Amino acid sequence: MKRDSRLSGVLHVLLHMAEADGPVTSEVLAVAMQTNAVVIRRIMAGLRDAGFVRSEKGHGGGWTFACDPEAVTLRDIYDALGKPSLLAMGNRTEAPGCLVEQAVNAALSDAFAQAEALLLGRLGEVTLAMLSADFHARMAARPGTTQDHGHEH
C-alpha cells in the first residue's frame, strides 16, 4: 500500500516560502520538490482557498505567505488538503447486511477512530512556527552552512 506524502510535501514547500523574501513561483518550488509546476499549483489550491497563502499573477508574481505561522497548525494544513484518509486500513463494506462483517467492523472501527483522533490531536499541537524554528536549529547545528536553505536537492 503506497503512502501519501502530500502533507509532508506541502509543509516542505511552506517552509521554503517562509524563508524566501518575496513571492516564489510554482516553477521554482517544482524544482525544489523535484516535480512539475502544475502539481505544485494543484497541491497549493486548497491552501489558497483556505487563506493560508496567496498567489499573484504576472511579473514578480508567485506564492506568498498569508497567515501567522504561530497560529496555523499542521492540522489546519491537513484540513486544507482535503482531509485525506489518515489510516491505510479500512473496513470491508461489500456485505453491509452480513452480521459477521458488522461484528468485525465494530471491533476495528473503534480502534481506528481512536488512533485517528490521537493523530489529529498531535497535528493540532504543532504550528508552522515550531517547524520553522526546528529547521533553523538544524541549520545552526550544521557546520559550514551559510545563509542558504542547506539544500542538496
Partner DNA sequence: GATCACGCACTATTTGAAGTTACATGAAAC
Partner DNA sequence: GTTTCATGTAACTTCAAATAGTGCGTGATC
List interacting residues with a copy of itself (CB under 8 A).
Answer: 1-9, 11-12, 15-16, 33-34, 74, 84-92, 94-95, 97-108, 110-112, 114-116, 118-119, 122-123, 126, 130-131, 134-135, 138-139, 142, 149-153
Q: Which residues contact 36 (CB under 8 A, 6 or more apart)?
A: 30
Q: Which residues contact 28 (CB under 8 A, 6 or more apart)?
A: 62
Site for DNA in 51-70 (CB under 7 A): 55-63
Question: Of DNA, a copy of itself, none, which one sits near residue 39, judging by CB under 5 to 8 A according to partner kind?
Answer: DNA
Size of the residue set binding DNA (CB under 7 A): 28
Phi and psi at residue 119, in whole multiples of 5°?
A: -65, -45
Question: Of a copy of itself, DNA, none, which one sits near residue 45, judging by CB under 5 to 8 A according to partner kind?
Answer: DNA
d(C-alpha 63, C-alpha 84), whole Å: 23
The answer to whether 150 touches 141, Cβ cutoff 8 Å, is no
Question: Smallest gap, in angstroms, from Cβ of residue 23 to DNA?
Answer: 7
For residue 74, count CB atoms less than 10 angstroms from its CB and return exposed for 0-12, middle for 13-18, buried for 19 or more. Answer: buried
Q: Which positions from 19 to 58 touch DNA by CB under 7 A, shown as an x/- string? A: ------xxx------xxxxxx-xx-xx--x------xxxx
Phi and psi at residue 24, in whole multiples of 5°?
A: -120, 130
Residue placing its CB nearer to DNA in the complex, 83 or 138? 83
